Structure 1
Amino acid sequence: MTARDPQLLPWLAELHRRSTMSGWGFAAFDGRIESDDPPWDFDEEVRGALRSSEHAVDIGTGGGERLLTHLAALGDEHGVITATEGWEDNQPIARAALAPYGIDVLAYDPELGERLPLPDGSQDLVLNRHEAVDAAEIARVLRPGGRLLTQQVDGRDGERLREWFGGESLYDHVTVDNLTAALADAGLRIDQADDWIGAMRFRDIGTLVEYLAMIPWDVPDFEVHEHEEQLHALATVRPIEVPQRRFRIIATRL
């Protein structure tokens, strides 16, 4: 489609309307979104930690997609694993995926200030990839010497998108400095803390609009009809590149 094709906005509006997330998988974007990788290998760090853990919890498992890849790589080299998920629509998806591996999926949303439904000092490993972190609850369920491994999307991620389409960041407070301070206050020793800026590239404007529908917190309340000029301008750009920001923390319960 050309930048001024009269069908551009109706096409984008329909894409936005019918694009929804199921679980926490991005297979729909295979070959259409390319992302730089941070200098650390969080997946390998997680697998190494699971190999040596007795009781681990994966907070914010989505539909269990990422945990399933770890299980496929580990075989039987892991202890007891529990998972949590806060989004109600994802919970049955995760339970169906993880039940064959004997993994319970508990309802838990750290953004709501809920109590993590696990006993005090019951875990030697807490995993959290791109889910909110309640430092006090993590400290409570970790035994002394237990570890937290978390990779986070920096709250300033998506700034370029908001420059284009408006809206306010919902997570400006999510930074490596703020989270390390909260974890230290809760009684964890910070062993590793790194942040990183890379790039994400969308193949075309349709891919970007689908992404905004599936990740609505990047540009809250985005509507195609409100951004005609910007969308026409971006329709001439391939790929569409935006910065992305990540950080990871490894910490130990004192």
Structure 2
Amino acid sequence: MTFDEEIAEGLAVPTDGWDFSWFAGRATEERPGWGYVRLCGERLGQVDAVLDVDTGGGEVFAEALGVASRVPGVVRATEGWAPNHELASAALEPFGGVVTLVGDDDAPLPFDDYTFGLVMSRHPVSFPYREAARVLAPGGTLLVQEVGAGSNRALYEFLMGPQADDDAGYLDQVRAQVSEAGLDLVRLQDALTKVEFFDLAAVVHFLRKVLWTVPDFSVDKYQDRLRALHEHIVEHGSFVCHSRRTLVEARKG
């Protein structure tokens, strides 16, 4: 396809939810070896109430509930984007799940203290550790797979130019946030995983869907760099970068 055709296709694909099946044959992403869904499923069977923060379209939460040995009696989630809220509500309805639409990311979680035995979140860029600790019951578990600092740096720097590199202190920041929230860190694991794009349409759709990669992304603003990226993919067959995922498990004493 031509540059313009690829741009048009990347702009036409809906961005609702966290279903990435459209990328099949167009892009690949390796997964961290720890298996987030499996870990969640193991812990879900041990609690009576669970909260998934920023659930997206609820797809991953529903998958974890589906592999759990038992479904908790109380299944709750939050989501900040209205189209995703509708998708998540439908995905979690078979499990008795209720999804709360939230606004400001800095607002308190809309739940009482000591409510949940498990608080989880698969894809946060910035996670509210203090609020999670507040709603966790004593002895409860926090299980989060964060988007780590510098995730997909090669892609966003190709478009935006060199950016500040604060990656080195990121894990120390996570440790401090967990400690300041009054939680005991059980596990902290970091992984860089290969991401490969095979056409420009996939890049455009990705940047529209994963908004924090290039926060001010628009085709008009980045047209020249997108054209250079298209030429790179045509010449080399793909564009490769690396995502960073950080697994955080903590407990409330």
TM-score, normalization by structure 1: 0.88
Matches within 5 A, 1:45-60: 45-60=39-54
Count of matched residue pairs:
247
| Counterpart AA for 2:242 | P
Secondary structure at the aligned position of 2:85 is classed as: helix
Partner Cα separation in structure 1 for residue 199 and residue 60 of structure 2: 27
Partner Cα separation in structure 1 for residue 132 and residue 229 of structure 2: 42
CA distances 1:178-203 after superposition (whole Å, capped 9, x unpaired): 12211111100001001111211122
Could you tell which deviates more after superposition, 14-23 or 125-134?
Answer: 14-23
Any gaps of 5 or more consecutive residues in structure 1? 2-7
Partner Cα separation in structure 2 for residue 17 and residue 225 of structure 1: 13
Cα gap change, 1:240 to 1:28, in 2 (>3 Å): same
Matches within 5 A, 1:175-190: 175-190=170-185
* Superposed displacement of residue 167, structure 1: 6.3
Matched residue, 2:121: 128
Partner Cα separation in structure 2 for residue 235 and residue 101 of structure 1: 45
* Superposed displacement of residue 139, structure 1: 1.0
Report if the CA contact (8 A) 2:10-2:202 is conserved: no
Partner Cα separation in structure 1 for residue 72 and residue 84 of structure 2: 24
Report if the CA contact (8 A) 1:147-1:252 is conserved: yes
Report if the CA contact (8 A) 2:37-2:63 is conserved: no
Matches within 5 A, 1:31-180: 31-74=25-68, 76-108=70-102, 112-131=105-124, 132-166=126-160, 175-180=170-175
Q: Percent identity?
A: 29
Question: Is 1:225 matched up with 2:223?
Answer: yes
* Superposed displacement of residue 170, structure 1: 10
* Superposed displacement of residue 231, structure 1: 2.5
Cα gap change, 1:230 to 1:251, in 2 (>3 Å): same
Secondary structure at the aligned position of 2:241 is classed as: strand
Cα gap change, 1:203 to 1:73, in 2 (>3 Å): same
Report if the CA contact (8 A) 1:53-1:124 is conserved: yes
* Superposed displacement of residue 232, structure 1: 1.7
TM-score, normalization by structure 2: 0.88
Any gaps of 5 or more consecutive residues in structure 2? none
Matched residue, 1:4: none
* Superposed displacement of residue 75, structure 1: 6.2
| Counterpart AA for 2:112 | P
